[in-house]
Structure formats: C-alpha cells, structure tokens
Structure 1
Amino acid sequence: MSANSIPITPKSPPTKARINKLLQELCMERSQLQVLKKLEGMALSEGENGRRCMAEFGVAKAMVSLITKCFKRNSVYCLEEALRVLNLVIITRVSTMIMNEIEGSDFLDAITWMLRCRSDAHKQTRTLGVSVLKSLVELESSNVLERLKPDLFEAVVWILRDRVSREALKSALHVLLSSCSWGRNKFKIIEAGAVFELIELELNGCPDKRTTELILGVLDHLCSCADGRAKFLGHAAGIAMITKRILRVSTAADIVAVKILASICKFSGTGEVVQEMLRVGAVSKLCMVLQADNEGGVKAKAREVLRLHNNVWSNSPCIQIYLFTRYTR
C-alpha cells in the first residue's frame, strides 16, 4: 500500500471533560491568559464540528461572561484574547444558547464600550468586537435585534468614521444592513449619522466592489424613509456619488443605486433635486442604463424614474431628446 493510500484517522473533537478543566482554570485570574491561548489554539486546530462542541460545552458562554466582566471592571486585560476565542466558536446551530446568554446580560453594552475605545492601541479589539457583533446580528434573534440601543449604532458608525480596518468596515456594514429591517433600528441608524458617513466612506474610502454593494444596500434601506432621504439630500455629493457608481461596479450595485434614485425622485423630487440630477449627470446615466446590457428589473426601475419628471428633463439641453422618445414611452 502506498503512502498516499493510507487512510487518515479523523481527529477526535475536544471532550467535555477537557473543556470543563480549562474553563475551571479560566476562573483563576493568574491563568486566564494562558487558558485563552489554549482555547484559541484548540479552536484554530479544530474543524467546524470541533468548534461547535467547544461552544456547546460552554466556551461561548464563558467568553460572553468574561467579556462582560471586563466591561464592568473597565479592564482590557484578556479582552482581545476572549474576543478571538468567541469569534471562532460562534456557530449558527448553537445560536439559541448564545442569544439566551446575551439577553440576560450586559454583553451588548460591553460591545458598545469596546467599539468606543478609539485609540490606535485598541484597533484590533474594535475589529474583533464588531466582528462578534456581526455574527450575533446575523443570527437574527428578534428579541436581541429589536432592542439594540442607539448608542450601539453610534459606536458602529464610529467604526466607519475612524476607518479602523478593512475587516472592521465590512463587519460594521453587515451589522447595519442586517439590523435595518428590525423594529425602529432604521431610525436609530439614521440618527447615529450613518447616512453622511456612508456617503463619505464611498467617496473617500477607496472601497472594493463588495464594500460598495454593502454601502449602497444600507443607503437603500435608509432612503426608504423621509428622515433618511433628508439626510442623504443634505450631503452635497449624495446624488453625484450614486450617479458615479451606476454601471461601474456590478449589476447588484446598479439595482440598488437606481432604487435609491427612484426613492429620491418619487418622494423627495423637488425642483432643486430634479435640477441636481440633471447637473451631476444622473438623468443621462439612467438613459445609459436603458441602453446597457442589464437585467430587465434595472431597466424597468430606470424607466420609472425617467417618467416621473420627464416633463422637466425632456426639455433640457443636457439630455438628447431621442433617448426619451425611444425609451420612455
């Protein structure tokens, strides 16, 4: 039998007894850092099944408890290491257990606290903290998501403003996108200043394709209400930024960008807004969408926008009349 044909024995998952021993040692402050390193190493060496066992045997609960204690003591000792372990063992199938633990604790306040630590020394802690928050929000527990506090969203928006790291930015955007549809979160996010920061991030952050799609996705949700549209129009470059992204990023981005313009035109289409769309080339870009090889849904939405103010735009020297006569009937 050749060496290549020798079967590999699957690695046994960690035992409950071994995990219990480590968690008992974790209670002794002098050994906490060493135990956390062992748990992190174990989680890194295990597959998903092994990490699920770790979570089910109490590791996730212990990390939530330890992080909450750090918050109450205003201490960052072992905080980064505990966040690393929790990031590794958050598994969707044990979400109920984790959420039950969080609902009865100050854990979300602890997350808010660490996201507010704005010194350079805490960049990694903030990155890990918002990554944990992303995982929790994506578990979609309504009991948690509907009770997220305004100051948590303010802290998440600070992640965008401070450009903490590329990973932190994407996690923060996922948090905002996943939270928008629950309760009054949309209004809390708007009040936290997210609209302005999202536009600024897209303008100045040199985002990649996926980041742009996330930014536009959040803006689409926020612009579905009057307060969000007002904040969007309050930024001098809002319409111009959306216009520039159409036909330059991806089909997914085109769909959302045109939806944003549709919301603006339909519900906030004042004379000033309509003229701004002409001035920055938004109307011309919508005409280009009709000519491009896009899916039908995007073209239908673009056509809808053009029809809303056709009486203004068709008389403008900025637009070629044949585009309207050909595509907007």
Structure 2
Amino acid sequence: MMRDPVTLPTGITYDRQSIERWLFDLKRSTCPVTKLPLSADAAVCTPNHTLRRLIQAWCTLHSSDGVERIPTPKPPVGQDEVAALLEASARVPTQLDALRKLRRISGESERNRRCVAGTPGAVDALARVVVLSASSDLETIDRDYAVLTSSSTACDEALAVLHSLQISEDALLDLVVRNADLVGSLTSVLQRSNYQSRSYAMLILKSVLAVVSPGRLMALPQELFDEVVGVIRDGVSPQATRAALRVLAGACPWGRNRAKAAKAGAVHAAVELLLEDPERRACEAALAALASVCGCAEGRAELVRHRAAVAVVSKKILRVSQLASEKAVRVLHELARHGPTTALLQEMVQAGAVTKLFVVVQAGGGGKMEERAREILRMHARAWRDSPCLSFLFKNGVSTL
C-alpha cells in the first residue's frame, strides 16, 4: 500500500520511498513503467494528493478490520529550509538546535540527504563547525565548561550530518583545499571518549585521505597514526575499525608512514584483531594493513615480537578469501625475504606456514600469491628440507619450485 504517492512527469504514480530508491540509490534514469528517460529536473516527484486521500479514506473505512490510517506525510525539505538552518548553525545561540534539525532531516530520506549535500555551502559550513570545535577544545584555559560542552556536542551533530551525506571525490578534495585544518580537526575528535563521534570522524577521515595528494599523505603526523590505531584497539565500531585499517593500508606506502604506524602499535592491534576471528572484510583489511606496515624494518620487528603473529597470519591462508590469502602470503614474504632468523624459520614450520605455502604452490593458478609462495620456499628450502614434518613435502614437491 502506498504511503506517500507521487507522480513522475511521465504520468505514472509510485510510492515516494520506492521511486526515490530507484532514482537515487540504484541510480536509474528512466521511468520504471514507461522506460522513458528522466532528466535531472524530472527526478523531482509531484505529490499525488488525490490518491493519498483515497488511500486514507479506504484505511478509515476498514479500521474495524485492523487497518491503520496512513498519516499525512511531511512535505520534502527544500534547499531554502536547509540554507536557513545552515545560517542558524553559524550563530552560537541557535547552532545546536539547527544542527540537530539538519541531522533529523538528513536521516529521514535519501532525497533529503541529496538536498542537504546540494545546498550551496552546506558541506563547508558543517566542516567549519568541526574545525572550530576542535580548535576550541585545545583552548581550554579560562573557558567556560558549558561552552566547551556545547561546542563538542555541536561538533558531534555536524559529524553525523557529514557522515550521512554522499560527497563526491571532487567535492571532498575541494573541501580539504578550503579547510586546511580538517584532517587535524578530525584527529582531535578521535581523541574524545564519545565512540559515536570517533566512528563518524574515522569514516570521514578515511574518505578524505583517499583523495588527498601524496605530498599531504607524506606529511601526516605521528599523532594521527596514534589515534587511528586507538580506534582499532578500542573497537569503536566495526565500520570504524575497517576504516582505520584501510587508512593504515593506504597511507603507509608514503614517506615514513610505515615507521609511524609501527611506532603507534598498528601491528599489535591488527594481530589482536585477527586473533578474534573477525568477519571477512575486517580480516582482509587487517591483513592488508599488516602487509603494508611490514614493508619497513620496524613493522617486521613488531610482527616477529608478537608470539601469535606468524600463526594467525598463516591460519588465514586459503581459509577466508582470495584477497586475504594474497595479503597473508605477502606478509610472510616480507618476513622471509628480509634477513629472517633461525628462530623465525622454525616458527614458520611449527605454525604451519610452510605447509600452507606448499598448498598454495600445488593449487597453481599463477599470480603474485603463487609467485611469492614459490620464492619463499626456494629461499629457505635448505633450512626446512631436513625438518621431519616437511621432508615428505620437499621430496615430492621440490621439482615444482
């Protein structure tokens, strides 16, 4: 039963929630019934008041049968209303109420979120609230506690709205250019005790760092890596954990970021997460982060120092997904290639890593994973050949290496 019937320019009536999902979520540009193309302006649906009143009248007529009357839907929000709320959010007395209304509006429907994101200056205004709030948190001397608390709450509301919006990569890049302190402000938010705000900040930070230049990535401070690892360690939320791991995997290849991540405890946090046997995407992200951090000597040293690291990485090979297996083999390849000790080679035997590498080679399929597995076995065949539990594998499989 339609709850909010609306009509497209093609003359066909649909329920608003269904047609907006078709147009916005599925990104279709045609009328589902007539198949006629719809322009961007045509995506604005016209309420069908007559049909809505007929549906409500039918519900009232059958109320004795338990049919509830459909309430009159609220009119869709317009850019003028959003602009007025944004203007109010720039003034301290009305800031918090305006941001809460914006959060409610953006949470009601995809159309409202598109309307908020499309209002000129909306994203910049919300980012400005976050930046100003973060700077006020640092200036705590002789400031009223209530003002600081209000500023922090306003920042939380602005983060929630920003997170709900689907901001394009180009718009994000422009946002970072116009708000040079945004990355530092999001890092400051990660230092708070509010898990929800830390989660929103982490998810926004992941999107921001995905579009910034390599030069900006090379200049990321140690403090950012400390806070990103803190999100993983604290288990802020599953989404924030995956975002933090992807930030590490994406930022580590640049400059001295691998060493910064290792110093922040990224290796220990990722291994501990793997020991909890997380769901597939988190496992893949953790192994990707480990593979990236282990590209430096500090990262490899931290991995070897953790007693369960080699075992848990080996366990994920051929058990989670193709991507997880590739990343796990890459981690072992980093360890085996850069001056492994006798103790480490023995640990790889005891943890079953060598056996898993033989299985990868025998499975074939080519690609980087098989190539790395072969290289590891070739490099250390002499050390492993005499092992009682591996002599059979080397005897029967050495010709394939």
Q: Same fold (TM over 0.5)?
A: yes
1:109 aligns with 2:184: yes
Picking from 237, 241, 248, the partner of 1:176 is 248
1:253 corresponds, among 309, 324, 341, to 324
| In structure 1, distance between residues paired with 2:322 and 2:365 | 7
SS of the aligned residue for 2:307 comes to: coil
- 8 A contact 2:229–2:266 mirrored in 1: yes
**Count of residues in Structure 1 that have an aligned counterpart in Structure 2:** 321
Structure-to-structure mapping, 1:176-325, within 5 angstroms? 176-204=248-276, 206-292=277-363, 294-325=365-396
What are the Cα deviations for residues 250-288 of structure 1, in whole angstroms up to 9, with x where unaligned?
111111111111111111321111111111111111112
1:10 aligns with 2:43: yes
1:78 counterpart SS class: helix
Task: Measure the CA separation in 2 of the matches of 1:196 and 1:38.
Answer: 41
Distance 1:33 1:22 in 2: 10
Identify the residue that residue 83 of structure 1 maps to in structure 2. 159
Unaligned runs of 5+ in 2: 1-10, 15-32, 46-75, 138-147
Matching residue of 1:53: 118
1:97 corresponds to which residue? 174
RMSD value, Cα: 2.6
**Alpha-carbon deviation of 1:140?**
3.0
Residue 150 in 1 paired to residue 212 in 2?
Answer: no
Compute the displacement of 1:110 (Å). 2.3
Query: Which amino acid is the alignment partner of residue 95 of structure 1?
Result: L
Alpha-carbon shift at residue 184 of structure 1 (Å): 2.0
Distance in 1 between the 2:100 and 2:184 partners?
25
Write the letter of the residue equivalent to 1:127. S
CA distance in 1, matches of 2:44, 2:100: 20
What is the CA-CA distance between 1:114 and the residue it aligns to? 1.8
Contact kept in structure 1, 2:232 and 2:241, CA below 8 Å: yes
Does residue 62 in structure 1 map to residue 125 in structure 2? Answer: yes
Q: Are residues 154 and 171 of structure 1, via their aligned partners in 2, closer, same or farther at CA, if it must alter by over 3 Å?
A: same
- SS state of the match for residue 225, structure 2? helix
Unaligned runs of 5+ in 1: none
The answer to whether the Cα contact below 8 Å between 1:87 and 1:132 also exists between their aligned partners in 2 is yes
> Cα–Cα, structure 1 residues 78 and 131, in superposed 2: closer, same or farther, change >3 Å?
same
Determine which structure has greater relative contact order: mean sequence separation of CA pairs < 8 Å that are 6+ residues apart, divided by chain length: 1
Q: Secondary structure at the match of 1:268?
A: coil
Q: Would the aligned equivalents of 1:190 and 1:228 in 2 still touch at CA under 8 Å? A: yes
Name the residue aligned to 1:71. 134
Q: Is the contact made by 1:99 and 1:144 (CA closer than 8 Å) also made in structure 2? A: no
1:251 touches 1:294 (CA, 8 Å); kept in 2?
no
Q: Which moved more, 1:319-328 or 1:87-96?
A: 319-328
**Deviation larger for 44-53 or 296-305:** 44-53
Give, in whole Å, the separation in 2 of the partners of 1:3 and 1:60: 33
The 2-side partners of 1:184 and 1:150 are apart by 10
Paired residues of 1:159 and 1:168 also in contact (CA < 8 A): yes
CA distance in 2, matches of 1:143, 1:315: 49
TM-score, with length taken from structure 1: 0.88
CA 1:22/1:193 → structure 2, altered by over 3 Å: closer, same or farther? same
Question: Cα distance, 1:147 vs. partner?
Answer: 2.2
Q: Mean Cα displacement is larger for which, 173-182 or 160-169?
A: 173-182
| Structure 1 residue matching 2:153: 3-state secondary structure | coil
Q: C-alpha displacement at 1:83, in angstroms?
A: 0.1
1:15: Cα distance to partner?
6.7
Q: What amino acid does structure 2 have at the position aligned with 1:233?
A: V
Identity of aligned residues (%): 32
What secondary structure, in the 3-state scheme, does the structure 2 residue paired with 1:247 have?
coil
State whether residues 84 and 128 of structure 1, in contact with CA within 8 Å, keep that contact through their aligned partners in structure 2. Answer: yes
Give the greater-gyration-radius structure (CA).
2
State the alpha-carbon separation in 2 of the partners of residues 3 and 14 from structure 1: 20
Contact 1:80 1:125 in 2 (8 A): yes
Q: Distance in 2 between matches of 1:236 and 1:22?
A: 55
1:27 matched to 2:104: no
